[in-house]
Amino acid sequence: MRFTAAFLTAFFCASQVEAAASRPNIVLIMVDDMGYSDIGCYGGEVQTPNIDALAGEGLRFTQFYNTGRCCPTRASLLTGLYPHQAGMGWMTTDLGHDGYRGDLNSSCRTIAEVLRTAGYSTYMAGKWHVTKHKGADGPKHNWPRQRGFDRFFGTITGAGSFYTPSSLTLENTQLKEYPEDFFYSDAINDTTVKYIEEHSRENTGKPFFCYVAHTAPHWPLHALEEDIDKYRKRYLGGWDALRAERYARMVSMGLVDKRWKLSSRDKAAPAWEDVPAERKADMALRMAIYAAQIDRVDQGIGRITASLKRTGQLDNTIIFFLADNGGCAEGGIWGFERKKNAVPGKDSSFASYGLSWANASNTPFREYKHWVHEGGISTPLVVHWPAGMKARGELRSEPGHLIDIMATCVAVSGAKYPVAHEGRQIKPLEGVSLLPAFAGRPLGSRAVFWEHEANRAVREGDWKLVSKGRGSPWELYNIAEDRTELSNLSARKPELAARLGKLWQAYAERANVLPIYPRGTGKPKSYSRKTVFELKAGASLQGAASPNVKGKRLEVIARLAAGHGDGVLLGHGGVTDGYALFIKNGQLALAVRRSGKLQTVTAAGKLPEGAVELEAVLAKNGKVSLKVGGKVVAAGKVAGSMQRVPIEGLYAGNDGEAAVGAYKAPATFSGTIEKLTLRLGKVR
């Protein structure tokens, strides 16, 4: 079954064209939450003949790194910078610091934006997830079409259903209906085929860049029955046997040095022999569905390579294949299932495969997605380019990083990386071109760095310094001898550990990493116990001083002097959660955001020009009323009261740096606020 919706045309019977000899096409394929050892050419049992064929006719990097999490990886991959430099040190939430804005900033350029200047056509299919502006009614300046892509089909947000994905977007329009046979992995691959076929017909001789960003095999575990059937019995032997099998294959394939001992099973995971029989059946099925997700992606990659061959473009197309982070342990030992009466693999299910299988996915390494030990940041990297390199089935042990992809694309395309754009300085590239490694030459001496959720690391040559979580001590490993990070040498080599620690600190200071993961330090254990807040314009309540608005009735009263204009009277939150009372075009309005969805109640008429008292009430059940001078001027209904305390804090007379409503932050009020009161709970 393939995606054949009305907005994707049938395959074109295009005649073969001669590919541009000097400037290759570039197809960048990334999967989501896949472990280092899952695919066949990296030691896995999952059937990936098409990826394996690319590796057999190209090369595999054995020590290539991502950043350990989806949003930072995508930002780093697209820009050639470390994620904090692009504004994406964490996820798509603004944490109040430049490295953690949750949005690609204007001091970086994407691969698509840079290659466009060299005459490339640019296409994207799949998951974007590098902007906090996700809604159809919000800003779109950081959507793919506005960040260099000529064509886009995919999702703006992160994980979701493979049958009915939210934020599914064609160009700049979000779609609300799905064909009966829709499956997202097929849609991504078949859209890519469509781009290639159309390009070969309409843009003969012009090179193209295509970014193919899969959500598979990220949870939820959704797969087609025909694919699941291949693996139903495969995992009944459990995770212990699977780890041993994979490790042995990886050693025999040369991917793993036999000096690197297989890490122990995660201490949180039980031995397979101790798992109850009924639980074994459920867990084996979860892993089967996960494998089926990868299998489905591989089938589509086969269609992509076939289209390149059919149009005469395969030889001079660089194909990259990699993953955004290691296997995902979210959901604990057994994984989660978030829906009752769920049918495994179907849209009625929303499950993960859990820590125990993720431990196997990351064979032979320690840790998972989120962390920066090898299991969290090691990715396969397959590179296929018949016209540009002699490698056929070779391995490359040169350490590489996502930051190197942009540098490589610039090198092969003839593009000039910009120093500035529209008057703003652009941060210099951090990576190096991988072209020497393609030819079997070293990339040169350098250090590469990581930080995510206070997990830190630096690797220089064979040495890696790494720490797990806030306050944890540094660990030091010789990666050449012990890449599975089993023998901590920090006590034996304190001077080396100290030197690498200083390198990391210098990186953190220059690359917008500090303060380290502000969500971890800024989210208090409790909030203010006050129920009445008397505020002055310009005031701000942050952290533990923030009102505890979760699940409470909210009442805002504002007394304005004559001569007022537009702007925010009170703003609490941002583009994920929050509420704001504001005036726009002379009309009073209350904006409410819950989990990114914006709802606004607006008064029909304009406010009187003289002094006036305004009141807005948001009830626990979502009912909204707006009053001017004691009279109701608007009533409406939103989804409900606040589900959580917004992390961005409260502002009086403006909305800080993260807008709740449909206006540009900070939207400072242009008049005079004589009195501003926020009340929580029932009026006494």
Pair 83, 427: CB distance under 8 Å: no
In this structure, which amino acid lies at residue 431?
A: G
Q: How many H-runs (helices) and E-runs (strands) does the chain carry?
A: 13, 29
* Lookup result for tokens 């995660």: 266
Q: Is the torsion defined by CA of 326, 328, 332, 333 positive or negative?
A: negative
Is residue 166 packed enough to be buried (19+ CB in 10 Å), middle (13-18) or exposed (0-12)? middle
Rounded to whole angstroms, the Cα distance separating 83 from 77 reads 9
Among 415, 219, 222, 233, CA closest to 329? 219
Q: Please state, as a whole number, how many other Cβ atoms lie within 10 Å of the Cβ of residue 644.
A: 14
Chain centre to alpha carbon of residue 229: 30
Residue 269: other Cβ atoms inside 10 A:
22
Tokens of 437: 């490694």
- Name, in order, each residue with C-beta under 8 angstroms of 207's C-beta and a sequence gap of 6 or more: 20, 23, 24, 25, 26, 119, 120, 121, 413
Residue type for position 16: Q
Q: Measure the CA–CA gap between 235 and 244, rounded to whole angstroms.
A: 13
Core vs surface per residue 415-449: b (16+ CB within 10 A) or e? bebeeeeeeeebbebbbbbbbebbeeeebeeebbb
10 Å Cβ neighbour count for 599? 18
d(CA 209, CA 121): 6
Q: Where are the alpha helices (DSSP H) in 320-441?
A: 354-361, 374-377, 403-413, 435-438
Give the closest residue to 429 by CA, choosing from 450, 403, 411. Answer: 403
Which entry of 41, 70, 71, 409 is annotated as an active-site residue?
70
Per the CB < 8 A criterion, the answer to whether 113 and 144 are in contact is no
Specify the 3-state DSSP secondary structure of 398: coil
**Cα 472 to Cα 117: distance, rounded to the nearest angstrom:** 45
Q: Give the residues across from 597 on adjacent strands.
A: 594
End-to-end Cα separation, the chain, in angstroms: 62
Closest to 527 in 3D by CA, of 379, 646, 620: 646
Among candidates 571, 563, 606, which has minimal Cα distance to 585? 606
Residue of 129, 199, 373, 452 marked active site: 129
Identify whether the C-beta of residue 96 lies closer than 8 Å to the C-beta of residue 512: no
Residue 425 to residues 82, 108, 147, 422, Cα–Cα distance (Å): 16, 9, 17, 9
Whole-angstrom Cα Rg for the chain = 26
Is residue 281 within a helix (H) or strand (E), and if so which, with residue range?
helix 277-310
Residue 572 · residue 580 · CB < 8 Å: yes
Backbone dihedral region for residue 414 (phi beyond 0: left; psi -120 to 50: alpha; all else: beta): left
Q: What are the strands, taking DSSP E only, across 324-440? A: 378-384, 394-396, 400-401, 420-421, 424-425
Q: Could you confirm whether 129 is annotated as catalytic?
A: yes
Residues classed as catalytic: 70, 129
